[in-house]
Amino acid sequence: MSQLRKLFEPIKIGEMELKNRIVMPAMVLGLGADGMVTDRFKDFYAERARGGVGLIVIGLAPPLYTGPFPPGTIGVYSDECIPGLREFADLMHECGAKVAMQISALGVLIKDDGSIELVGPSDVNVDRRPDAPKPRPLTIDEIKQIVEAYGDGARRAREAGFDTIELNAIAGTGLISYFLSAHTNKRTDGYGGDIENRARLLLECVESVKQKAGKDYPLLCRVSGADFMEGGNTLEDTKIVAPMMERVGIHAINVSTGWHEAPVAFIQMAVPRANWIYLAEGVKQVVNIPIIGGTRIPDPRLAEQILAEGRVDMVYIARPLIADPEWPNKAQEGRFDEIRPCIACSLCFDGLTEGRGVRCSVNARAGREAEYSIEPAKQRKKVFVIGGGPAGMEAARVAALRGHEVILADNRDQLGGQLQVAVLPPHKEELGNLTSYLAGQMEKLGVKVRLGEEVTVKTVEELKPDAVIVASGAVPIVPDIPGVDGKNVATAIDVLTGRRAVGERVAIVGGGLVGCDTAELLAEKGKKVIILEMLERIGADIGRTTRWVTMGRLRNLGVRMERNAKVEEITDKGVRVSRDGGSEFFEADSVVLAVGMESNRRLAQELEGKVAALHVIGDSAQPGKITEASESALQVAREV
């Protein structure tokens, strides 16, 4: 058993007692449909409830109908929502968790003609696009309508069996946050001006909730510790609002980070762990009710430390629970090395911004729990996995879980495959945790690992496996360009691993993820770096949540980035490109190739027709990212 005493100590919010201090905060996961709960929605949260979470919060749930819902969200705008929500609440209770409904009026209303109108406290838009429409300031009557709707929504949540509700006042995702912030609230009436007036909508919504749902109903509020928007609220403003919330009957405050629209990195891999806990800690200093804090707390031991130091009373764990639904149970049992780590790649958040369902790089089952169930094999087989990268190890893990005898071989002297390279650039340390987890699973599940072995057709024939899974990865593409075989030319992998040194001036051919990572590594070492990308966009294959952060670091490091530059020739003096019908030359001492990878299919082709069952996964099938490697491995291993 673990020594995480504080993390698993019960706590009360109002009259509601929670079995531990782990909160899964509301997230938009793309699993609802037309505002209603779906089977996928229930399956996703049921696994997390069974995994040991104390309190699950779902949202954003609009309390009044305002047209088509954001993709995948659920609503609490009508009594018609209650039956589905009741089924969900009952399921969460059966699985061992308390459940909260986060209520959030969105910044839109339906006009008399049925069209949707953008509204807010003022005509200030957080959308930075120059052509973005400005919201219409709400009238007093419309504000009263919204206040009443919050009470109605809370009443429906209680009737549906939810243990509590949470008012959403964070991250620019709802009207309350727009009213609270001086960035968006420029009103001159009783709902604008000083922070007390800007908090009026929030306080009136609390009163409405108490009147319609009952004064004894536990209430939470999620608020941004600071907006990090120009002219927006600071932590000092939030510390003024927090006691006001306590006085009107909020029983716990969930303190998040800044607005999604803020020009600050909050959740990306480069952000230090627990970087924002000081926001919740500051709010805790001014109130006597429980304070919930979090963001970038993937390790339960770190969560325990924060709680033990009295910085907050509870922790919210979001993305780590997408990565591993059993995070709490494994932590309580001291099985820390068995927790599938969140690598903070932000793929799940990309799904929110792109309007699609949740996906996870390290857990392909996330959001598809029923579709990708892992069942015991009907017949035990000998499965030979060739390749010890993320795809190979995931396939071996799943096959072993199903009861197969699994052997994994790799020609390297350690497991990890391309993860051993991906972890080398700056701010990529979290990737090493995935390698450690998967390697640990090989040992725990009894996978026979053979390292430093070059697998041949003869090797396979001698082993006589029932199924072969080839995960031999990919190799760098070397384009057919004059001068590409020069002594001053190297691949990005050779440079990242230190097998090749470079001069002071470096031209990187290819501006995708690998090219950008290599540029950052070299620039941090003081090299003068230029990226030459033939496409219109640098970093086109980097997720949108992370790309702007990466681009900002490259600019701060002085990396020169040239787009629409097609390389025509490499010389010992540099690189010649064609662009806009002309020719340009960029001087460089060294040229680094980062133009992509191509599948290593040699062994797979040699094995065709010579084994009982042959499967090709990961980069061996199609070069991609960890996401594709994990999913292809799961798809094959669950059917072998």
pLDDT one-digit tens code per residue, 409-436:
999 999 999 999 999 999 999 999 999 9
Residues 143 and 214 grouped into a single domain = yes
At 370, is the pLDDT very low, low, confident or very high (cuts 50, 70, 90)? very high
349 with 343: CB under 8 angstroms? no
CA distance 344 to 367: 18
CA distance 377 to 467: 13
CA distance 578 to 179: 52
- CATH at 168: 3.20.20.70
pTM of whole model > 0.75?
Answer: yes
Pick from 404, 395, 405, 406: which is nearest to 377 by CA?
Answer: 404
CA distance 293 to 170: 13
Q: Which domain holds residue 627?
A: 382-473+604-637
Instruction: Give residue-wise pLDDT tens across range 389-405.
Output: 999 999 999 999 999 99
Whether 377 is in a domain gets the answer: no
**Mean pLDDT rounded to a whole number for the chain:** 95
CA distance 454 to 293: 49
Pick from 321, 309, 245, 228: which is nearest to 283 by CA?
Answer: 245
Instruction: Give residue-wise pLDDT tens across range 4-34.
Output: 999 999 999 999 999 999 999 999 898 998 8
Residues 608 and 591 grouped into a single domain = no
CA distance 36 to 82: 10
Instruction: Give residue-wise pLDDT tens across range 517-576.
Output: 999 999 999 999 999 999 999 999 999 999 999 999 999 999 999 999 999 999 999 999
Residues 447 and 516 grouped into a single domain = no
Q: Examine the pLDDT at 442 and tell me if it is beyond 60.
A: yes
Q: Examine the pLDDT at 232 and tell me if it is beyond 90.
A: yes
At 54, is the pLDDT very low, low, confident or very high (cuts 50, 70, 90)? very high
- In the chain, % of residues over pLDDT 90: 90
Q: Examine the pLDDT at 352 and tell me if it is beyond 80.
A: no
164 with 18: CB under 8 angstroms? no
Instruction: Give residue-wise pLDDT tens across range 67-114.
Output: 766 667 899 999 999 999 999 999 999 999 999 999 999 888 887 777
Residues 453 and 320 grouped into a single domain = no
Whether 405 is in a domain gets the answer: yes
Whether 361 is in a domain gets the answer: no
Q: What pLDDT score does 155 carry?
A: 98
CA distance 19 to 11: 7
Q: Examine the pLDDT at 638 and tell me if it is beyond 60.
A: yes
Q: Examine the pLDDT at 1 and tell me if it is beyond 60.
A: no
CA distance 476 to 619: 11
CA distance 328 to 566: 51
Whether 374 is in a domain gets the answer: no
Whether 1 is in a domain gets the answer: no
Three-point CA angle 368, 338, 55, nearest 5°: 60
Whether 623 is in a domain gets the answer: yes
CA distance 152 to 105: 12
Cα atoms in the 13 Å half-sphere on the side-chain side of 11: 23
Residues 629 and 515 grouped into a single domain = no
Region of 162 (left: φ > 0; alpha: ψ -120 to 50; beta: rest) is: beta
Residues 142 and 255 grouped into a single domain = yes
- CATH at 550: 3.50.50.60
Residues 346 and 424 grouped into a single domain = no
- CATH at 631: 3.40.50.720
Instruction: Give residue-wise pLDDT tens across range 444-462.
Output: 999 999 999 999 999 999 9
Cis bond before residue 55 (omega within 30° of 0): no
Q: What pLDDT score does 15 carry?
A: 95
Instruction: Give residue-wise pLDDT tens across range 566-621.
Output: 999 999 999 999 999 999 999 999 999 999 999 999 999 999 999 999 999 999 99
Average pLDDT over residues 255-261: 92
Cis bond before residue 60 (omega within 30° of 0): yes
Residues 89 and 205 grouped into a single domain = yes
Whether 79 is in a domain gets the answer: yes
Put the strands of the sheet holding 116-120 in their side by side order: 108-110, 116-120, 136-137
At 222, is the pLDDT very low, low, confident or very high (cuts 50, 70, 90)? very high
At 153, is the pLDDT very low, low, confident or very high (cuts 50, 70, 90)? very high
**In the chain, what's the furthest Cα-to-Cα distance?**
83
Q: State the CB neighbour count (10 A cutoff) for residue 586.
A: 18
At 66, is the pLDDT very low, low, confident or very high (cuts 50, 70, 90)? confident
Q: Domain count of the chain?
A: 3
Q: What pLDDT score does 70 carry?
A: 66
Whether 620 is in a domain gets the answer: yes
CA distance 240 to 226: 12
Residues 449 and 347 grouped into a single domain = no
Q: What pLDDT score does 69 carry?
A: 65
Residues 517 and 419 grouped into a single domain = no
Residues 66 and 189 grouped into a single domain = yes
Residues 620 and 584 grouped into a single domain = no
Task: Name the amino acid, one letter, at 4.
Answer: L
